[in-house]
Chain A
Amino acid sequence: MAEVGSGRRVYRVAVVGNPNVGKSTLFTRLTREIAHIANWPGTTVERKEGVLHLDGADVVLVDLPGVYSLAGVSVEEKVARDYILRGDWDAVLVLVDSLAPERTLYLAVHVLELTGRAVVALTKWDAAHARGVHVRVEALRRALGVPVVAVSAVTGEGLGELVKALREVLEGGGGEPLKVDYGLLEPAIAEVERELAGLRLGVRAPPRWIALKLLEGDEDLAKLVEGAGGGAAVGRAGELREAVARSAGVDPEELAVARRFSFVDEVSRRAVVRARVSEGRGTLERLLLSPVAGPLLSLAILVSAYALVFSLNTGFPLNALFKVVGLGELAERLESFTLSGLISSFFDAAAGYLRAGLPPSPLTSLLADGLLGGLALVLSFLPLILTALLVLAFLEDSGVGPYAAASLHRLFQRVGLSGRAAYPLLVALGCNVPAVMASRTAPEEAERRQLMAAVPFVPCQARLVVLLAFASAYFADSPLLAAAAFVTAYAIALALFAATSLAVRRVLGAGEAPELALELPPLHKPSLRVLWWISWDYAKHYLKRAGLVIFGLSLVVWGLTSYGPSGPAEPGESYAAMAGRVLAPLASFLGLSGSKAEAAVFAALAGLVAKETILLSLAALQGSTDPVEALRALELSRAQALALAVFYTAYMPCAATVATIYKESGSARFAAAAVAWSILASAAVSWLVYAAASALGL
């Protein structure tokens, strides 16, 4: 963590810009390291801070979410607006895309109407000329009244100048807020402004800005003004709103937006020259947008991305493919050379070394199994998260992600999600932990929460192994039945995913499915260095934020499965086994009783730390080494086997996923609700499966 202060002057700068303006890239390029990462209170919106060390002063850059305006419609806009209105910033850095100044200047104008203590950065300067866009920086500076600096995060051009300009504003003050001519609205603005005189609102906005917002029908600000005793101003603004709407035939909101854009157009006429080069929509763009090939190609790209991530990490699905074609040995070799394989063999070796070197004692077991096991679990997620985020960053930054999201949108709309859900959903098939993290790709707060709650129902690789073991133990003699069981389990999982997504959307009151209005940035080759910085930062912070929780939870489960009332115990005598005996009656809804029920519940408890533990603990309980044998020894009916397999797939996100949901949502209540829902839903669904399968005579 970068040290801030210590006798030096500390300034804070709010960084604000449109989505796709290149904010993360510039942020990363300027600060090199995220000093602080958390959520804005009560939201899933990430709050990132980085520090810029200058001589004699430190500048803390506060990264605000990517927004189109400060209207406060979405959660992201509210967060950005609240910080600009009430935050402790000393200056604002506004980013304008030099490839699309006609659109992105809008937010800049909106911000500059609030404060003159600002610097405008023109991003992607390196690409602008190639695309035939020429921005006259000096003309823009004159029109906006604040320093304007052209920068490129890729080449580093202009960064020094940007820092210098920031410093001058920080130390020198900056100018007056920008004045936009609102035409028909001007008399109304002046009148409301007079009504506001003398009120103490406690926000950093000129009265003119507040007056305009009231006329635009901003409810949050109306509440604020009323709270400060400005009921008269709010009332007058309401009357004027209606009067303007009647006389102009347009409501003031639309009028204000249109006037702001006219101002932008005026500025653009003076400062932007577009050479009519070809729009550069290549074959790939056209293919991705075509009605039939588009969704297929998008899926193919995302599936390849997914296969790349998991083949590197766990060998899956390449290893499964090798096994199917009879190359079992090659599959095993592949697995041992994957990142997860390497990490686990390192920790196995370390544990073996400890066991051999130390006398057998509870302490040795704690060190070798409990502590090392927990550490191995946490570290095994690191490369997985790093590669999943790296691929996500590549998809987003190259522009392929948005194209794929647009072409897959209709598929996901039915379950209340947008096309952006495709990548997290696919990643979840490998591992839920990076999938929950990848929910950050969704543009809306509600959709991110939908994904976080729904993703754990997608059977990850560990649960696939459990399903496979059940299939080998109970359905091996009939490939048709085995296939039917598999399809049933996956269909149920997807149905639960869909139902959860829709339910969360309804609970959050987010209305119908997100409508598609998605910007498609030009496809380009991203800078790998920048992708690496961004992903590595996230992965590192993941380790800090969730690692400790995962480690703690895994240690607790290890303790419960290896200790009993009289100290260290065999699995059958452990606290977990005792709990299994107490909770065994719960399994009666699947027609299980006695030792079968105890074993099933014990395995479920052990599986809380990681789902693959379900099989290991069943085997350990029966003193066997073959999980399939151990499963067979339970002597379940096929109906019971199918129902139990479905239950194990869905019953609760593993400890690491729970920890990640907690950290990403920033809410223990949300994580707890997701867990409770998954337990209830899985119990209900597996009971239905049991009843249906029994009725079918399985």
Chain B
Amino acid sequence: MEVPLASVPEGSRVVVVSVAGGVGARRRLLEMGFAPGSEVEVVANRRGPVVVRVRGVTVALGRGVAAKILVRPAGGGGG
């Protein structure tokens, strides 16, 4: 079950499936660590930016950006 990162509740662990977006923005996200297969932990997701931990780094993502990252639940479930 693939969902946009923006809709993942706080505290969940997910795995990146793919990243959409324009050439430059997409490449930047991939290389900031949101490459397919990377594990992401959602730290904060209420109003305002979505805050995640990815590859040992905390990153704040605008909601528009977070909507472009497709993820599936970590550990077996789904994809």
Contacts and interface: CB of A to CB of B under 8 A. Distances in A.
Interface string B2-43: 000000000000000011001111011111110111100001
Contact of B49 (A100, A103, A133, A409): A409
A126 to B, nearest CB: 17
Contact of B59 (A102, A295, A518): A518
Interface string A499-524: 00000000000010001111111100
Given A289-B51, A515-B65, A71 B31 contact: yes
A593 interface: no
Contacts of B51: 289, 406, 520
A100 B56 contact: yes
Interface in B51-79: 51, 53-62, 64-65
A39 interface: no
B50 to A, nearest CB: 9
A254 B57 contact: no
Interface string A454-465: 000000000000
Given A258-B37, A261-B37, A261-B38, A519 B48 contact: no
A261 B35 contact: yes
A101 B33 CA distance: 11
A71 B28 CA distance: 9
Output the residue of B27, B28, B59 with the most chain A CB within 10 A.
B27
B33 to A, nearest CB: 5
Interface residues of A, number: 45
Interface string A273-306: 0100001010000100111001100000000000
B61 A281 contact: no
B56 A101 contact: yes
A413 B62 CA distance: 10
Contacts of A413: 62
Contact of B35 (A74, A101, A258): A258
B30 A406 contact: no
A517 B66 CA distance: 9
A322 interface: no
B13 to A, nearest CB: 13
A671 B38 CA distance: 44
A407 interface: yes
Contact of A258 (B24, B36, B61): B36
Interface string A604-645: 000000000000000000000000000000000000000000
A479 to B, nearest CB: 38
Nearest to B43: A281
Contacts of A516: 49, 60-62, 65
Contacts of A320: none
Interface in A241-295: 250, 253-254, 257-258, 260-262, 274, 279, 281, 286, 289-291, 294-295
Contacts of A520: 51, 58-60
Interface string A82-115: 0000000000000000011111001000000000
Contact of B44 (A250, A289, A295): A289
B35 A103 contact: no
A1 interface: no
Interface in A34-87: 68-69, 71, 73-74
A69 B51 CA distance: 22
Nearest to A413: B62
A68 B64 contact: no
A253 B27 contact: yes
**Most-contacted residue by chain A among B22, B37, B58, B59 (CB, 10 A):** B58
A8 B10 CA distance: 59
Nearest to B49: A406
Contacts of A406: 49, 51, 60
A167 interface: no
A254 B37 contact: no
Contact of B29 (A103, A106, A295, A517): A517
A522 B55 contact: no
Contacts of B38: 261
B32 A410 contact: no
A217 B56 CA distance: 29
A407 B56 contact: no
Contacts of B37: 258, 261-262
Contact of A410 (B28, B48, B55): B48
A286 B48 CA distance: 13
Given A289-B44, A291-B47, A407-B49, A517 B30 contact: no
A413 B64 CA distance: 12
A281 B10 CA distance: 14
Contacts of B22: 511
A408 B57 CA distance: 20
Nearest to A402: B60
Given A261-B37, A516-B49, A516-B62, A102 B31 contact: no
Contact of B24 (A74, A106, A294): A74
Nearest to B48: A291
A106 B30 CA distance: 11
A69 B29 CA distance: 11
Contacts of B53: 279
A261 B36 CA distance: 9
Nearest to B36: A258
Nearest to A67: B31
A106 B31 contact: yes
Contacts of A522: 58
A455 B46 CA distance: 32
A73 B24 CA distance: 6
B57 A291 contact: no
A175 B53 CA distance: 35
Contacts of B36: 250, 254, 258
Given A103-B56, A402-B60, 19 more contacts: A68-B31, A73-B27, A74-B24, A100-B56, A102-B33, A103-B32, A103-B57, A106-B31, A254-B19, A254-B35, A257-B30, A258-B30, A258-B37, A261-B37, A274-B56, A511-B22, A516-B62, A516-B65, A520-B51
Nearest 6 A/B pairs, CB to CB = A516-B62, A100-B56, A406-B60, A103-B55, A291-B47, A102-B55
30 contacts: A68-B28, A69-B27, A99-B56, A102-B33, A103-B33, A106-B31, A133-B56, A217-B23, A250-B18, A254-B19, A254-B35, A254-B36, A257-B31, A279-B53, A289-B60, A291-B46, A294-B48, A295-B48, A402-B60, A406-B49, A407-B48, A410-B48, A511-B22, A515-B25, A515-B65, A517-B28, A517-B59, A517-B62, A519-B57, A519-B60
